[in-house]
Amino acid sequence: MIILLTVFILIIIVCFLLRKKIYEVANRGADQMNRLLGYHLLPTTLGSFEDDIDDGLTSSQFDLEANLDQNDQRAGLKDKEEILKIMKKQKVSFDEARLIRQQRLLKKNNIDPATGLPLDPKFVTFGPSPSESSSSS
């Protein structure tokens, strides 16, 4: 009985000393589970356009300096983690990573990334098809 009590007290002491690490691991696990289930956090005041610029998430095509010049108080770019992952994994620029992310979103929503038209077989258009209009120009 004394051994069990000693072990129990030791576990409590270790948990108390490591409570911050346990909290961080549990938080990270909950975030990953939410992402797997398709839940996304709402934008918060964490982050800023300055942080995004420091992370290399700006270009001549997508200039965040203008947001700073206008004293934009928003939290910065949405889904920046996904764009950073694409940049690192595929070794592409910020603009290319944004394009890849957008094409993935379109495909996920059953939209042709090349034309922007739905891929649903029930979709009906009136007028020239995209292939006809591009060949006649």
- C-alpha atoms less than 13 angstroms from C-alpha of 130 in its C-beta half-sphere: 9
Cβ 101 vs Cβ 86: under 8 Å: yes
Residue 101: which residues within 8 A CB-CB, separation 6 or more? 79, 82, 83, 86
In the chain, what are the domain boundaries?
1-41, 42-119
The 10s digit of each residue's pLDDT in 52-85 is 888 888 888 888 888 778 887 777 787 888 898 9
- Distance in angstroms (rounded) separating the CA atoms of residues 131 and 117: 12
Tokens of 94: 């910020």
Calculate the CA dihedral of residues 91, 97, 100, 104 and round it to 10 degrees: 110
Tokens of 75: 């939290």
- Distance in angstroms (rounded) separating the CA atoms of residues 100 and 62: 15
When mean pLDDT is compared across 22-36, 84-98, 103-117, the lowest value belongs to 22-36
Q: pTM of the full predicted structure? A: 0.54
The 10s digit of each residue's pLDDT in 12-49 is 999 888 888 888 888 888 888 888 887 766 655 567 78
